[in-house]
Structure 1
Amino acid sequence: MSWFTSSVGSGTHTSVVLFIGDFKMNSSTYSLAEIQQRIDEVNRFLSVTLGIANAHTVEFYTHDVWKRFMAVSPEEVLSAVISDLDQQMEPKLNETENSRIMFGFCIDSKQLVDIHKLLLAAKTHSLSGLGVCMSRDELLKDLRGNTSQSAETGAELEADEFMNSKKSHEVQCMSEVVACLAQHCGVKQVIDVGSGKGYLSSFLSLQYGLQVFGIDSSSTNTHGAQERNRKLKKFSRAYQKHTKATRSRTEAAHSRQEEKVKIKPEPNEDKDALCDRLAGSGSQEEEKVSISSLHINPAVETQSELISETGEPFFSVLSADVMDSSPPRVPPSQLSSEEKERRKRENLERKAQSRKDGTSGVFSPLTSFVTAQTELRELISELKDAVVVGLHTCGDLAPSTLKMFVDKPELAAVCGVGCCYHLLSEEFDPSGHECSQTACGFPLSQYLRRQSCFCGRNARMSACLALERVSLGQGIQMESLFFRAVLHVLLRDHYSSYKSEKRVGNVYSKTKSFVDYVRRALRRLELDDSKLSDGEIQSYQDAYRARMEEMHAFNMLKVTLAPCIEGLILLDRLCYLKEQDGVSSALVQLFNPLLSPRCYALIGLKSLANATS
């Protein structure tokens, strides 16, 4: 296991033209060597700073984390971080001022002595600072070439009619990219891995006329996606009626305006007669409009129909904010033979029902645990060449999707946005929980695997923090973290023999005070809470309240390091794609990070020769 400690040059940015069939990626991009160089730069920075991200909040006071890492005051850190977030200055890193200080840390003491240098270095080593990402507009322009045509569309749908603003933004941004990839590759099929509730799958099938296979490990999600898609089809038909009626009214209004211009008095016709004739013409048109208006509001029409069927309003049924209670993903090896058979039977019945309903070739939700080794043709009998996609695929599913794309000739392109970095498995975990090389999600590239690169779960957890949201005042819930850290001190002092594997869990949201929190937590841990009085418990909060700023400042530093850790994970995936022969790849910012913090997509396209081999 190793982290880089040697200095790496900044390198030169070059413009590369990549040919995929008739596709030219004209935007500036980076070669494999340059991506590896950027990885080295981030690695060098994290070799100095990763300890902060890996420090466990629970042990903040018991291990005196602040004194271990900091030679500055919490007030100084908070002031600098808040000022830095407000200014959003361009990074200009200079490490030559003091040879004994690296990225703001003293080489001898390993403590932070210059917060401003650290913040500047964090910006420099984030994805935005490294400048390795394409924009969504650049990607679409490159896919479409010199033509201005967009992907072919089916029924015109507005995603925000049936999704919350975050999901609507994600689905609309990603679906257009996926549709352009499919159109460029000349394919009509899409495989949506980890499809969840089926929002992206349904939108791709209804809006762009693609045949989408949505695969999710949860049968609850699969059944829900199938039912939701059925309702969306009704909504789509009603929406088309609405669009047609609106277009008819617009055309009629133009015709009526032209008619007014054309109508002139007959030789012996007075003004009153002319007005009567015009009024008569208008009243007939009003009658037509009133008849058409019976179908103007498809949401109301469809909603009434659905209430009668399900007892729930249409929009509440489709709400993306509702948390489903789906079971965790279970690998196929852990499934019983009965469960395997049940899933196979359900998938076959679902396909048969789709054919019976005349809806095959639109959206087919399937239940299966997907890995890089999954045989797609066994799962999808009618599979042809396809684009594989994943919107916020959790943990190892994101790198597995990239492996699947590389290994399977029927997959012509990939568009994947990962999330939940804390659920990634690491091949070189020093704790001894190493996974097999084929199953691990990090590192993915040969370049980092040769270096036995390791991040750590707490660091990967930190990578999930949203810097952009924190910069707008949507800060971290500090009190719950503070309560948990002080509880750990109390456990050390009064329950030293406690070695249980039980977790406290989400106790904070149900409590009214620190005393209530501690008593609930002790009961959850199956410990005797009667040995401590309320006063004794309260004394712990009082003793550490003055040090709460330390925890606040330390967690703000974790937030500033988050984009760098996320950057290493995503650069590893980009490096993996660039290591493949005949594959063009790019890292693209698809979403607005304020709406969707996990906003980066890995895009891959196989050359025609590679795709058909």
Structure 2
Amino acid sequence: MMQESHFENSSMQTAMRLRNQINTLITFLTPLLPLANCHMVEMFTLNHWEKLVPKPLKDTLEDMQLNDCIEKFWNCASNSECSDASEFAVWIKNAQSHYVSINNDYCLNLEQLQNRFAKWGGQMKPEILITEFMSSKKSYELQVQTMSHLVASLHNSTHSTCCVEAGGGRGHLPVALTLGYGIPSLTIDCADKTIEAAAVRIKIIQKQWHAIAKRVENGIQGRINDSINKNLHRFASAYITRDTDLASIVREKFPEQTDIRVLLTGLHTCGNLGPDSLRIFAAQPAVKAVFNVPCCYHLLTEEVDAAMFDVFERDFGSGHKMDEGFPMSQYLKGYNLGRNARMLAAQSIDRVVYQKQLPDRSLLYRAILQVIIRQHLPNFTIPEGKLKRLSTKCHGFRDYFKMADSALNLGLYDNLSESYLADIVAQMDVQWKQTVLFYLLRLCLAQVVEGVILLDRLLFLFENGFKDVFLVKLFDPVLSPRCHSIVAVR
């Protein structure tokens, strides 16, 4: 009884600490939400630079050359020991101080997660590297390699009988789980055509498995000679909501299983699929654990944009009751981030800093085009996606304007005076500086917004009585911007 009381007190303390951190994040973020929620297209029409950048910071940046500002950003954003005390450096460091970090309480690194598995009585499994038939992106190959052996280890720790992948699409993760570890796995996806294509693809992989798969232990790759069971990976077509009965689907697809104990996983669960996976775990006793990597925060639904539907809801979700994707916790009920802020949360400051990647100049061109249209055709609305990839075909703003004018049938390019266009071009150096710096300032908030979303999900699980709940930093954020996962055990 004393030990149980200790665990309850420890869990309450962790939940309280989590609430305190969420408070710190939203206290910092809330006044800056107009900046996070603005649209770069309206950079000049709505005068973002003057209205949304704090005046001391704006004055400092205006007194500096653009190249000096950029170098300062790279240095301060990549160096935790940066001693620069300028307004710009303080902005960067203040934002970074609100990023989620490893704390060994509810946010773990990989080694700490593995220690948890051992504590729960599980055995760590070796990694499986599939060298072909994966995505063309090396990052995704590494993600599957990293996550599959951790999911297999959690499966062992929780004595699960089946791994269910939510929104698995092509079934990359279960391929490693079934062929590499012999774990019965079920991929559930809402698109029948995707499932059909995945089933064909997996049969090809099964035939070539021993040629394309390697077992990785202590950094050393070795051949896999174990025989494989080709009937362990199965598919089901369903649109997943909080009410989806996973045990019934598993029982239908695996009739040989009598004791259903599900490990629910998902690598890059888009939009509301991530929150609904956690709701399923909380509500259905047959789901013994969840291992979820979220993605596509802009596709979450909030109260402020409840009328907006993502592509999955539009195409597959008709007739299903939709829960809000954010917030999940009772503690944050009534708090809203906004769609543009959630879209910002999907951007990677780590990758931008590592690659020293400035925004494409088309961002400036598009914002200037918006000014021209507002001045001369104030009632005209640009159809979504109409100018997509236009910048790859043009050389300079005039070329961009001419192509956009033709694509949108504006009738402006040939009717505007040369002096008008010359004045626009003359201002572009100043406007480019503002665009670049505004982009970088705003980017600093991305991980703060993401932190609120992730910690809200953790708190939801604590509010529902779970104690073994963790945020785990799985991947290199340069390779995989969505580098955190949520791991919880019933």
Same fold (TM over 0.5): yes
2:380 is the counterpart of 1:498 = yes
1:141-540 alignment, distance < 5 Å: 141-145=115-119, 149-151=123-125, 157-163=128-134, 164-238=137-211, 359-360=230-231, 362-380=232-250, 381-382=252-253, 384-429=260-305, 438-449=322-333, 452-499=334-381, 501-506=383-388, 507-529=390-412, 531-532=414-415, 535=418, 537=421, 539-540=423-424
**Cα distance, 1:540 vs. partner?**
2.7
Contact 1:417-1:602 within 8 A present in 2 as well: yes
Q: 1:591 to 1:411 in 2, by over 3 A?
A: same
After TM superposition, the score normalised by the length of structure 2 is 0.82
**Cα distance, 1:416 vs. partner?**
0.5
Q: 1:591 to 1:547 in 2, by over 3 A?
A: same
Give secondary structure in 2 for the equivalent of 1:447.
coil
Which residue among 122, 137, 144 is the counterpart of 2:111? 137
**Cα distance, 1:161 vs. partner?**
4.0
Q: 1:477 to 1:367 in 2, by over 3 A?
A: farther
After TM superposition, the score normalised by the length of structure 1 is 0.66
| Number of equivalences | 448
Q: 1:148 to 1:413 in 2, by over 3 A?
A: closer
Inter-partner Cα distance in structure 2 for 1:56 and 1:411: 41
Q: Which shifted more, 472-481 or 535-544?
A: 535-544
Q: 1:596 to 1:30 in 2, by over 3 A?
A: farther
**Cα distance, 1:502 vs. partner?**
4.3
Cα deviation 1:340-377 (Å, max 9, x = unaligned): xxxxxxxxxxxxxxxxx9843x1113332212222334
1:6-25 alignment, distance < 5 Å: none
Q: 1:18 to 1:185 in 2, by over 3 A?
A: farther
Contact 1:514-1:538 within 8 A present in 2 as well: no
Inter-partner Cα distance in structure 2 for 1:597 and 1:498: 36
**Cα distance, 1:422 vs. partner?**
1.2
Inter-partner Cα distance in structure 2 for 1:503 and 1:471: 28
Q: 1:433 to 1:213 in 2, by over 3 A?
A: closer
**Cα distance, 1:204 vs. partner?**
1.1
Letter in 1 for 2:73: V
Inter-partner Cα distance in structure 2 for 1:520 and 1:18: 65
Cα deviation 1:519-563 (Å, max 9, x = unaligned): 333344343346535945565344333321111011111221111
Inter-partner Cα distance in structure 1 for 2:24 and 2:142: 33
Inter-partner Cα distance in structure 2 for 1:540 and 1:39: 44
**Cα distance, 1:188 vs. partner?**
2.8
Give secondary structure in 1 for the equivalent of 2:200.
helix
2:458 is the counterpart of 1:588 = no
Q: 1:237 to 1:499 in 2, by over 3 A?
A: closer
2:76 matched residue in structure 1:
84
Inter-partner Cα distance in structure 1 for 2:32 and 2:459: 23
Inter-partner Cα distance in structure 2 for 1:489 and 1:239: 54
Inter-partner Cα distance in structure 2 for 1:178 and 1:123: 30
Contact 1:190-1:387 within 8 A present in 2 as well: yes
Cα deviation 1:563-599 (Å, max 9, x = unaligned): 1111011011111111112452000001111211110
Which residue among 526, 542, 555 is the counterpart of 2:439? 555
Contact 1:215-1:365 within 8 A present in 2 as well: yes
**Cα distance, 1:485 vs. partner?**
0.4
2:315 matched residue in structure 1:
none
Contact 1:427-1:437 within 8 A present in 2 as well: no
Q: 1:432 to 1:228 in 2, by over 3 A?
A: closer
**Cα distance, 1:477 vs. partner?**
2.9
Contact 1:217-1:370 within 8 A present in 2 as well: yes
Contact 1:123-1:129 within 8 A present in 2 as well: no
Q: 1:525 to 1:149 in 2, by over 3 A?
A: same
Inter-partner Cα distance in structure 2 for 1:463 and 1:482: 21
Larger radius of gyration, structure 1 or 2? Answer: 1
Inter-partner Cα distance in structure 2 for 1:440 and 1:478: 34
Structure 2 gaps of 5+ residues are 216-221, 255-259, 311-319
Give secondary structure in 1 for the equivalent of 2:163.
strand
Give secondary structure in 2 for the equivalent of 1:446.
coil
Inter-partner Cα distance in structure 1 for 2:386 and 2:13: 46
Inter-partner Cα distance in structure 1 for 2:403 and 2:7: 60
Cα deviation 1:455-476 (Å, max 9, x = unaligned): 1111111111111111113414
Q: Which shifted more, 560-569 or 535-544?
A: 535-544
Inter-partner Cα distance in structure 1 for 2:83 and 2:265: 34
Q: 1:30 to 1:485 in 2, by over 3 A?
A: farther
2:30 is the counterpart of 1:57 = no
Q: 1:605 to 1:66 in 2, by over 3 A?
A: same
Letter in 1 for 2:110: R
Give secondary structure in 1 for the equivalent of 2:187.
strand
Q: 1:411 to 1:523 in 2, by over 3 A?
A: farther
**Cα distance, 1:389 vs. partner?**
0.5
The root-mean-square deviation of aligned C-alpha atoms, in Å, is 3.4
Q: 1:466 to 1:211 in 2, by over 3 A?
A: same
